[in-house]
Amino acid sequence: MALLKVLVVLQKTRKTLIVVFHELKQIVYRNLNELLQRVKRKKRDLKAKLSSLTRKARK
């Protein structure tokens, strides 16, 4: 009987850990996506600034 209780607790713990791991993964992916968007935006801004400076230098 005690073994059965232990198995039930282990099963619940496993399910909880899977849920927690899934949530953490979602958070990590969301943060990575936000970071990637920020980097892309910065890159675009820098490219625009560079082409602007290049145009000014030609005049």
Q: How far apart are CA 49 and CA 29, in angstroms?
A: 30
Res. 58 pLDDT band, cuts 50 70 90: confident
Q: Check residue 1 and give its pLDDT.
A: 85
Sign of CA dihedral 51, 52, 53, 58: positive
Average pLDDT (31-59) is 95
Q: Check residue 43 and give its pLDDT.
A: 98
